[in-house]
Amino acid sequence: MANLEKRELLYEGKAKKVYLTSEDDKLIQEFKDDATAFDGMKKGTIGNKGEINNAISSYLFEYLENYHIPTHFIEKISSNEMVVKKLQIIPIEVVMRNVAAGSLCTRYKIPEATIMEYPILEYYLKNDELHDPMINEYHAYAFGHATPDEVRAINRIASKVNAILKFFFDRRNLILVDFKLEFGKRNNEIYLADEISPDTCRIWDKKTHKKLDKDRFRHDMGGVEKAYLELRDRIINA
Ligand SMILES: Nc1ncnc2c1ncn2[C@@H]1O[C@H](COP(=O)(O)OP(=O)(O)O)[C@@H](O)[C@H]1O
Ligand SMILES: [Mg+2]
């Protein structure tokens, strides 16, 4: 990517900035230190989060590519930037849950850390104004966000990612509690997009259940940056 130029800002989100580049089909994702939670109600920053999340996300996308998961990742080009394929993002957040935490506990009155018999796949509409309401696949078809074939592809990729990453984290004495994925389309192909990081996953130490993810920020547990760094080192330097 030696001669890829960063051009105008396409979109600034809550945790990243997305830039056009000198190549039509490539974008640069720049990871910010900004953190938000509870629908943007809580705002703050986490020291070095941009670099940590870019490092973790780049590593995991590359890892998944080795298992033939189609991802938007092309190359990490600096501490807080990666080049990705430009996609048409499907405005659905796909959540996969292995262990009960967060909204699952409140919505269904299940104690945190309950191990589920079977992973749970959920869909939420990616719409801040509507506060990301939960939907099912029929909403996705009816609203024109994805076809049944596309939803099947998304489900297959999400389940495969879960199987791969569950073992990946288990080998590092970590529990993959849950995670959120985003997908995009290009030329009728579905790709895994966005990021995979402690902002978008819940990950606990296997023995102590110490949280190594954004829940530390959400619930003012302290040691947020330290936990993100610990997770990065346990993922990358294992
Ligand atoms: N490959 C891609 N092509 C186009 N858009 C992408 C791609 N990957 C991620 N995005 C979008 O870029 C934005 C990333 O910034 P983020 O801070 O996560 O935004 P948001 O606040 O909307 O979640 C998201 O809206 C995400 O859907
Ligand atoms: Mg986002």
Final residue belonging to a domain, choices 85, 100, 135: 85
- Position 5 confidence tier, pLDDT thresholds 50, 70, 90: very high
Between CA 31 and CA 54 the distance in angstroms is 6
Verify that 207 and 162 share a domain, yes or no.
Answer: yes
56-80, pLDDT tens digit by residue? 999 999 999 999 999 999 999 999 9
Question: Which range marks the domain in which residue 145 is found?
Answer: 88-223
The answer to whether residue 238 scores a pLDDT higher than 80 is no
Q: What is the mean pLDDT of residues 81-97?
A: 98
Verify that 195 and 95 share a domain, yes or no.
Answer: yes
The alpha carbon of 156 is separated from its chain's Cα centroid by a whole number of angstroms, namely 17
Straight-line distance from the first to the last Cα atom of the chain, in angstroms, rounded to the nearest whole number: 28
Which pLDDT value is given to residue 124? 98
25-43, pLDDT tens digit by residue? 999 999 999 999 999 999 9
Final residue belonging to a domain, choices 57, 85, 113: 85
Verify that 67 and 116 share a domain, yes or no.
Answer: no
Residue 231 lies in a domain: no
Verify that 160 and 92 share a domain, yes or no.
Answer: yes
Verify that 102 and 157 share a domain, yes or no.
Answer: yes
For residues 56 and 232, is the Cβ–Cβ distance under 8 A?
yes
Residues in CB range of 33: below 8 A, 6 or more apart: 45, 46, 47, 48, 49, 50
Q: How far is the CA of 12 from the centre of ligand 2 (A)?
A: 10
Residue 165 lies in a domain: yes
Verify that 110 and 178 share a domain, yes or no.
Answer: yes
Average pLDDT, the chain: 98
130-158, pLDDT tens digit by residue? 999 999 999 999 999 999 999 999 999 99
Which pLDDT value is given to residue 96? 98
The answer to whether residue 2 scores a pLDDT higher than 90 is no
Ligand index nearest the alpha carbon of residue 128: 1
Q: What is the CATH number of the domain that holds 23?
A: 3.30.200.20
Q: How far is the CA of 74 from the centre of ligand 2 (A)?
A: 19
Q: How far is the CA of 123 from the centre of ligand 2 (A)?
A: 15
Which pLDDT value is given to residue 1? 76
Residue 219 lies in a domain: yes
178-236, pLDDT tens digit by residue? 999 999 999 999 999 999 999 999 999 999 999 999 999 999 999 999 999 999 999 99
Verify that 96 and 208 share a domain, yes or no.
Answer: yes
Structural domain total, the chain: 2
Q: How far is the CA of 18 from the centre of ligand 1 (A)?
A: 7
Verify that 80 and 143 share a domain, yes or no.
Answer: no
Ligand index nearest the alpha carbon of residue 29: 1
Which pLDDT value is given to residue 63? 98
Verify that 12 and 52 share a domain, yes or no.
Answer: yes
Between CA 143 and CA 137 the distance in angstroms is 10
Between CA 136 and CA 39 the distance in angstroms is 20
Pocket test for ligand 1, best of 29, 61, 181 (most atoms within 8 A of CB): 29
Q: What number of other Cβ atoms are within 10 A of residue 187's Cβ?
A: 5
Residue 230 lies in a domain: no
**Does the C-beta of 18 come closer than 6 Å to ligand 1?**
yes
Residue 139 lies in a domain: yes
Final residue belonging to a domain, choices 56, 85, 114: 85
Nearest to 61 by CA among 194, 186, 198, 234: 194
Verify that 79 and 171 share a domain, yes or no.
Answer: no
Beta 92-99 vs 115-125: how paired, if at all?
antiparallel
39-48, pLDDT tens digit by residue? 999 999 999 9
Residue 163 has phi, psi (to 5 degrees) of -60, -45
Q: Residue 179 burial by CB count (10 A; 0-12/13-18/19+): exposed, middle or buried?
A: buried
Verify that 108 and 190 share a domain, yes or no.
Answer: yes
Verify that 62 and 138 share a domain, yes or no.
Answer: no
3-state helix, strand, coil in the chain (%, to 5): 30, 35, 35
Residue 105 has phi, psi (to 5 degrees) of -65, -45
